Structure 1
Amino acid sequence: MHSFQRLIPGLLLTVGLLAACSQSQTSGNANLPGHSAPRYDYVVSVPLELGDTRAAVEAQLGGSVMTWPDNSCSASGDPSCTALLGFNRSSAAMKILSTTASRPVFIERNKDVFTGGGELTAFMGGSRIIWASGGLQAWSGGSRIIWASGEYSPLPQNTGIWTKINLQAAQALAPNLGAGVTVAVIDTGLDLKHSAFQGALSDPSTWYDFYAGDAVPQDEGTLGVGGFGHGTNVAGIVLQIAPKAKIMPLRVLGPDGSGDVATIARAILWAAAKGAKVINMSLGSAENSKVVQDAITQVKSQNVLVVSSAGNANANTITYPAALAADGGAGDFSLSVGSVDLNDRKSSFSNYSDKLEVVGPGENVYAPAPGELMAAWSGTSMAAPMASGALALALAQPLNVQVKDLDNKLVDSAADVYANNLNAAYNGKLGKKGRLDLVAFLKATLK
């Protein structure tokens, strides 16, 4: 991060605190499909004072208000009332603002700091295949058989993956299958009209496209180019694990798979305010964003579980916010997820670190693709929604542990990926124990 990010010692300016004052969003320009809302090079977090108005703050500091509390602050210096302003200025100009502003401010680089991870690897049979039978009714609570003779019937290509994490037995242990649990997928949006999602999405009043600035978080682009289809795949993986959960689609990434700090922070707060119990973020950044981390801290205080992917650079470090997931100790509501293959060996692309908490089989995972298609993706992005789905399975059942302990139980119940010198080069860097084991997790958490 730039050196001027920390400006006032001891000052706690958090975007997360915006949730204490319900937010409204500034209206952008008209948003046609593919047209993005106004974007800014820098985001500035500003503590509001008694009597502040949008116009007055903009005149005082410059920039454009991105978020503003709906209610007036109860007193000057109330830390629960904070605004975000967007700036398109040079780095030098922002440094000047940091020292000349009439009030303390917190500045971060904003535009395209985050990216979604993963790669489109295959269509079934090497060609595009129309989604069979008009949809997967089992995913939305219908009667279609999910497992038959040991095979995952809706998508037999995933049978080996789901067998590896003991999904069939896990779904038998958690027969509610995630019913009553909403999982927010903060991503590229998803194909809202895809048959696989009919009856499986949260109420449309909970959807939002933070990238385009409208209420239609539709996955946009060309399949096989950039990030198009990424969110559709991620949401489909959650529903294969927890078929009766609801998906809350929130778009924060553009067709190229990149997104902004402020946009992601706003989506995190939105998800919690609209009833999500699990937030899946198959995205990350090499930069530690305090704005995003403060938003995560805020929703954790509301018993919301946050799952983040570890990144795909085959690096001895993991991306943020996953890199901070383990820092809160027991019951921190956050989880970082990397990837292994079906032999439990580290995926060639997966980042690794002694901070990484758990891994899942994230290679060639089939799920819906835009346009009534199915396709496989590979990445830590595909492993993360497996963990999110597992948490949804548990949350839909009577628990013998507190919600704050679920993420740690998922880590502690994982299968060993270090035995017999397996992954010897990555000892201790593919999670505390290793790969997701959903049966062991549920046995440790359910009554």
Structure 2
Amino acid sequence: MGAHAVEVAEPPNASISQRPEIPLDPPSSVRDAAQYLQCRTTGSEPTRWVDPRVLWWPPTVVDNRGAGITIGLLEGDYSPSVADLEGAHITVRRFGARDNASQWLCGHGSFSASLLVGQGSAKLLGTVPAARLLIACTASPNGMSQPDTVAEALTWLAAEGASVIAIPLGQHDEHPGLADALCAAADIGALILAAAGNCAPRPIMFPARDPHCLAVGACTATGALLPNCATSPRLDIIARGHRVIAPIHDRAVCRRSGTSASCVLAAGLIAASISAHGSWSATPTIPADPLSRQHSEPCIARKNDETTRRVR
């Protein structure tokens, strides 16, 4: 990776604990991505404290999830050859120097897209299947995304009206041009989420640690933070990022763990809430009984004083 290249949060040459697992046998029934955001409790830990920043799927979201919402996804690359993405409202634009992208990068983008707008026709119903999805692909011929290219892609997503933007990418070094693009996108009303990175004990990656982003960490189904999730200087949101299954091409699925998956799932939950209610409340609520957390509203801590995001 070059000194300033932006990489996916779970690169294929990562440590074993970060590496995506091999494709699995397809599940026997269609999964609902919202299930990944519903609390699970274990018999041995019925009263374990759960971090109030963990997002749980709110029960008030209607079945027609994502109607009227435009959500942006910034990825390395993407392939439409996923059965569950047939019929989804997707617009793709590619930025930077292009070459034949690796199958792994395309699978990473298709995995994310399926978590958001999967139609449930084969393997997965996404969190916001009725939404309009904008995908900005930024991988260069060497498989990495240059910050200037990411900044251009982010500007396009915001200009096209994305209310929520998911960035499951990151790097350790900050970049002023990308920071300016984040500020501009936030100023026109986009809510930006970025993967914190699977690099603990190193600090949260950029752009997640930028003040105009919400840094998304990854947890298990019971709300326990993944041990390799970066946490410093602070996480803003935590979402399920452990053993998440989604399609990567055709009808093949893959199981992944890490902050890329949690970033995309968190963005989908927020977009679904905006679609259902016209806004997303960021006021933390902490149920007294952990067993009732699957019925709670989203819980987060914000980097600024704004507590509600409305549709633009």
Q: TM-score, normalised by structure 1?
A: 0.53
User: Which sits farther off after the overlay, 369-378 or 379-388?
Assistant: 369-378
Alpha-carbon deviation of 1:178? 0.9
Query: How much has 1:228 moved relative to structure 2?
Result: 4.3
What is the alpha-carbon distance in structure 1 between the residues aligned to residue 149 and residue 295 of structure 2? 32
Unaligned runs of 5+ in 2: 11-18, 40-54, 118-125, 300-306
Partner of 1:367: 246
Q: By how many angstroms is 1:258 displaced?
A: 2.0
Match status 1:185 vs 2:73: yes
Q: Letter of the aligned partner of 2:203 in structure 1?
A: T
**Would the alpha carbon gap of residues 200 and 381 (structure 1) be closer, same or farther in structure 2, given more than 3 Å must change?**
same
Q: Residue 194 of structure 2 aligns with which residue? A: 308
User: What corresponds to 1:96 in structure 2?
Assistant: none
- Matched to 1:117, the amino acid is A
Q: What residue number does 2:46 align with?
A: none
When residues 155 and 413 of structure 1 are mapped into structure 2, their CA distance, relative to the original with a 3 A threshold, is: same
Note the C-alpha offset of 1:274.
1.8
% identical equivalent positions:
21
Candidates 184, 198, 201, aligned match of 2:89: 201
Task: Tell me which amino acid in the other structure corresponds to 1:210.
Answer: F
C-alpha offsets along residues 276-298 of structure 1, whole Å, 9 cap, x if unaligned? 22111001111111110100111
User: What pairs with 1:141-156 in structure 2 (closer than 5 Å)?
Assistant: 154-155=30-31
Equivalent position SS for 2:269:
helix
- Contact 2:168/2:260 (8 A) holds in 1: yes
Structure 1, unaligned runs of 5 or more:
1-40, 42-109, 133-152, 326-331, 420-435
Aligned counterpart, 1:117: 9
Cα distance, 1:415 vs structure 2: 7.6
Query: Per-residue CA shift, 1:342-363, capped at 9, x if unaligned?
Result: 2322213211124211211201
Distance 1:255 1:440, change over 3 A: farther
CA distance in 2, matches of 1:305, 1:213: 28
Equivalent residue, structure 1, for 2:220? 341
Cα distance in structure 1, aligned partners of 2:129 and 2:254:
19
Q: Which residue of 2 aligns with 1:76?
A: none
CA radius of gyration, larger in: 1
- Counterparts of residues 295-334 of structure 1 (less than 5 Å): 295-325=181-211, 334=213
Deviation at 1:382, TM superposition (A): 0.5
- 1:266 is aligned, of 133, 144, 152, to 152
Q: CA deviation at 1:376?
A: 1.3
Equivalent pair of 1:188/1:255 in contact (CA under 8 Å) = no
Question: Aligned equivalents of 1:346 and 1:376: distance in 2?
Answer: 18
Deviations, residues 274-333 of structure 1 (Å, cap 9, x unaligned): 2222111001111111110100111111111111000111224100111123xxxxxx5x
Q: Secondary structure at the match of 2:177?
A: helix
- Match of 1:296, SS state, is helix
- The correspondence of residues 67-86 of structure 1 with structure 2, limited to 5 A, is none
Of 106, 114, 118 in structure 2, the residue corresponding to residue 236 of structure 1 is: 114
Please tell me whether the aligned partners of residues 315 and 351 of structure 1 are also in contact (alpha carbons under 8 angstroms).
Answer: yes
Distance apart, 1:222 and its partner CA: 3.3
Deviation at 1:336, TM superposition (A): 0.9
Aligned to 1:161: 36
Provide the C-alpha distance between the structure 1 equivalents of 2:37 and 2:143, rounded to a whole number of angstroms: 27
Question: CA, structure 1 residues 236+282, in 2 after alignment: closer, same or farther (shift >3 Å)?
Answer: same
Q: How far apart in 2 are the matches of 1:311 and 1:339?
A: 9
The alignment yields a C-alpha RMSD, in angstroms, of 3.3
Matched residue type, 2:93: Y
Distance (whole Å) between structure 1 residues aligned to residue 24 and residue 308 of structure 2: 36
Determine if the alignment matches structure 1 residue 441 to structure 2 residue 304: no
Q: 1:297 to 1:414 in 2, by over 3 A?
A: farther
Q: Which runs of at least 4 in structure 1 moved beyond 6 Å after TM superposition?
A: 444-447
The alignment's TM-score, normalised by the length of structure 2, stands at 0.74
Residue 385 (str. 1) matches residue 255 (str. 2): no
Q: Does 1:222 align with 2:103?
A: yes
Q: How many residues of Structure 1 are paired with residues of Structure 2 in the alignment?
A: 269
Shift of residue 180 of structure 1? Answer: 1.6
Q: Deviations for 1:45-89, whole angstroms, at most 9, x for unmatched residues?
A: xxxxxxxxxxxxxxxxxxxxxxxxxxxxxxxxxxxxxxxxxxxxx
Letter in 1 for 2:217: G
Q: Which amino acid counterpart does residue 30 of structure 2 have in structure 1?
A: P
How far is 1:195 from its partner? 1.8
Matches within 5 A, 1:88-99: none
Structure having the larger proportion of residues in helix = 1
Aligned pair in 2 of structure 1 residues 324, 182: CA closer, same or farther (>3 Å)?
same
Contact 1:182 1:276 in 2 (8 A): yes
2:184 is paired with a residue whose SS is helix
Cα 1:438–1:178 shift into 2, 3 Å: farther
Higher relative contact order (CA 8 A, sep 6+): 2
Q: Distance in 2 between matches of 1:159 and 1:229?
A: 21
Match of 1:64 in 2: none
Alpha-carbon separation, structure 2, partners of 1:414 and 1:316: 29
Cα 1:345–1:257, aligned 2, differ >3 Å: closer, same or farther?
A: farther
Query: How far off is 1:394 after superposition?
Result: 2.1
Contact 1:111-1:261 at 8 Å conserved across structures: no
Q: 1:413 to 1:367 in 2, by over 3 A?
A: farther
Asked if the contact 1:122/1:376 (under 8 Å) is kept, the reply is: yes
